[in-house]
Every structure is written in structure tokens, then in C-alpha cells.
Structure 1
Amino acid sequence: MSYIDGFVIAVPNANRERFIGYAGAFDNIFLEFGAIRVMECWGDSVPDGKLTDFRRAVQAKEDEAVVFSWIEWPDKATRDAGMEKVMKDPRMDAASEMPFDGKRMIFGGFVPVVSLPE
């Protein structure tokens, strides 16, 4: 069974192309260290909720888009080993120049309980 790391961030609309370049550079490192797939999704239809929503979760401002991303790993052991290698990789030093406010990122690791088609 696979393992998923999920992320939600707010990115200034003015930084869209910069974000795409940033993600393209760093996402390949995850693939190199065992990830099966990486998806970066720019918010297109992110409605306001009555109690909570994606925008509030990351304190998105009016001029920011919500980006929903995930990394699919073959299993948690591969994820743990891969993430350790990613964090130690010297190429990640440049990741500190993010085109978004990393303090407002929400993230977590998830075990799939339903996966279709299977």
C-alpha cells in the first residue's frame, strides 16, 4: 500500500511561474529518492466554507492562490528513508528561497484507506 505526504500552501498569484519553476526543481529530488509521483495543483475552484476551508487553513490573502500538493511513495519505509535523504541533500539548501510563506504551510503523512481503481 502506498503512503502519501500532503501539503497545502498559499502562493502569491504574482509568483505563479516562480512557484512552478521552484517545484519543478525540487520535486525531482523526491522522485530521485523513491517517490512514485509528485503533484502540484494550483487552486482553480477553492470555495469559502462556513466553518473552515483551504484558504483559511493557510491564511491565504486576497492576492494568493491555494496550492494543494502531494507526494506518493510506494510505502512508509521508502518515504521515511527518502525524506531523510531529501533533507540531507545539499540541493535543498536553495529551498529556503521559497516563493511563498512556508510558515503557513500545512502538511502531513497519510495512509490510504481507499484507493480506486485497485
Structure 2
Amino acid sequence: MSYIDGFVMAVPTANKDQFIRHANSGDSVFMENGATRVLECWGDDVPDGKLTDFRRAVQAKDDETVVFSWIEWPDKATRDAGMEKVMKDPRVSPENNPMPFDGKRLIYGGFAPVVELRSH
């Protein structure tokens, strides 16, 4: 079964095009290092919750949009090896590809799927 890295961030809505350029520039590095799929999803229907929600999780401001992203890997070993290479690649360094959002409010984690359903 695969392994997933998940990310949630608050991106200034005015930076949408800049975010897409940032993602297009950096996401290919993950693919070159073993990822099988990368999705960057711009918030479209992100409701406020009663106790918690995506917006509160990343302290999104009124002029920011929540972005939900994930990277699929064939397995954790490929992910670990691939991430080590990605983090050393100058194409994803903040100097060469600065994040168009506040990286301190980015939340992320690695996940081992326990249920997977697919349509054919």
C-alpha cells in the first residue's frame, strides 16, 4: 500500500498565481524522486466548524485561502529516501523557490493508509 504526505496551509488569496508557479516549480522534484502523484488543491468549500476546522488549524486570515495538498509515494521507504533527496535539491530551497505563504502556519504529516477504495 502507498504512503501519503499531507499538507494544509493558508495562502494569501492574492498570491494564487504565485502559489501555482511555486508548486509547479517544486512539485516536479518530488516526482523525480519517487512520488507517484502530487495534488495541490485550492480551497473552494471550506466551512467554519463549531469546534475546529481547516481555517483555524492554520490560523487563516480573512484574505487567505486554505490549500490542501498531498504527495503519494509507493511506500514509506521510497518516501524517506525521496524526501532526503528533495530536501537537498536547490530547486526547492527557500532562496530559489520562496513560499508565497507563511510557512510557520503550514501543518503536515506522513500517513500510512489503512483503507483504500478505488473505482475502475
Q: Which runs of 4+ in 1 moved over 6 A?
A: none
What is the CA-CA distance between 1:90 and the residue it aligns to?
1.8
Equivalent residue for 1:113? 114
For 1:15-30, list aligned pairs within 5 A. 15-30=15-30
The alignment of Structure 1 onto Structure 2 pairs a total of residues equal to 117
Give CA-to-partner distance per residue, 1:7-57, whole Å, 9 cap, x none: 000000000000000000000000000000000000000000000000000
Structure 2, gaps ≥5 residues long: none
* Pairing 1:74–2:74 present: yes
Which residue pairs with 1:102 in the alignment?
103
Asked whether 1:84 is paired with 2:84, we answer: yes
| TM superposition score normalised by structure 2 | 0.95
C-alpha RMSD of matched pairs (Å): 0.9
Q: Which residue of 2 aligns with 1:42?
A: 42
Question: Identity across aligned pairs (percent)?
Answer: 74
List gaps (5 residues or longer) in structure 1. none
- Matched residue of 2:23: which SS? helix
**Distance in structure 2 (CA, Å) of the matches to 1:44 and 1:92:** 27
The residue identity in structure 2 corresponding to 1:111 is: A
Structure 2 contact 41–68 (Cα < 8 Å) conserved: yes
Output the TM-score relative to the length of structure 1: 0.97
